[in-house]
Chains A and B, each alone.
Chain A
Amino acid sequence: MKDSDKIKNSLIDEFYNEPHEKISESIVCSEADLEFKSKLKLASNKMDVLDEDIFDFHIDTLSIIEQGEQIREVRKSKKEFILFILSSIIILSLFAISIIKIGFNLLIISQIIIITIAPWIVIPALVMKKRGSEA
């Protein structure tokens, strides 16, 4: 890279308050570099004209939030559905394999156990969940 380019880059960095290579005063004082510095300042002032807010548009943030929430809900239920299907397939497959390996008696025994134990687990769990959501 040419020296003049390096100096220009450093002047740009300096203008934007970024760390830059220290350049000795004697080099920067060349007429071309001083001219570049003043042109940079002038150009920057001109470019600031875009800070004016001339395009007026309104956005309904509340409706965007509603829309976003709906999308999140749909995604969440899709995810839950896929999880449910996957876990069901896994459980049923394991169950089927166990029946094949151990015997048909397992089905009857497991059904009796599930019917006996399930109400003692499911009902208190539902009551606790209901209380939790009310609190």
Chain B
Amino acid sequence: MDELELINKAKDGNKSALNSLLQDNFDILKGYTVKMVGNPHLAQDIVQDTMLKAVININKFEPRAKFSTWLIKIATNVYKDYLRKNRSYELLDENFIDKGHEVEDIVMSNYEYKEIMKIILKLPYEKRAVFVLKHYYGYKYEEISEIKDCPIGTVRSRLHNAVKYLMKEIERKEII
């Protein structure tokens, strides 16, 4: 069954179709959220909230874009709300670094993973979102500008700045 058919059935109240849609898009949503948040526990909460909002608002979804794009847009807003309420995304990033031991335990011997994650988390939220969407998911500038509700020029300059910063940091930390 293709995505459009599942979406139509889900809109008609078919729980199984809605469940399939959520299951099919779980990995991409999880990957995006983990990369944005850098903390698996918080990522789990955000994924749950995102899915709940998607279920509540499924009738508002217009299948012009992919379902995964819509989920990512919701996740971006949920995370943004979280940051606004907690006013501490930098603190969260520091949190990740401070809790280095925990992450180290999870990541085990994966030094590079931890270092790259730390570098990405040091990026301001807006640039991080653009970079993650572009680099890991290959979204076009136009799609990112729709997800982020900002002009294409802003997306482009955020990506340029993010990439230059990441390159500089990777080089400085001698990961290359």
Contact = CB atoms under 8 A, between A and B. Distances in A.
Interface of A: 8-9, 12-13, 16, 18, 39-40, 42-44, 46-47, 49-55, 57, 59, 61-62, 64-65, 67-69, 71-72, 75
Given A18-B141, A50-B35, A59-B51, A65 B18 contact: yes
Contacts of A72: 55-56
Contact of A49 (B51, B113, B134, B159): B113
Contact of B135 (A8, A47, A61, A75): A47
Interface in B11-66: 15, 18-19, 22-23, 26-27, 30-31, 34-35, 40, 43-44, 47-48, 51-52, 54-56
A54 B112 contact: no
Most buried by A among B34, B55, B106, B116: B55
B123 to A, nearest CB: 12
A75 B166 CA distance: 45
Interface string B129-157: 00000111000110000000000000010
Main secondary structure of the interface of A (DSSP, over half): helix
A43 B56 contact: no
Interface of B: 15, 18-19, 22-23, 26-27, 30-31, 34-35, 40, 43-44, 47-48, 51-52, 54-56, 106-107, 110, 112-113, 116-117, 120, 134-136, 140-141, 156, 159-160, 163-164, 166-167, 170-171, 175-176
14 contacts: A13-B156, A16-B134, A16-B135, A16-B159, A18-B141, A42-B176, A43-B170, A47-B135, A47-B166, A49-B110, A50-B136, A53-B31, A57-B30, A65-B22
Nearest to B22: A61
B161 to A, nearest CB: 10
B30 to A, nearest CB: 7
A54 B47 contact: no
B167 A43 contact: yes
Contacts of B112: 46, 49
Contacts of A52: 110, 113
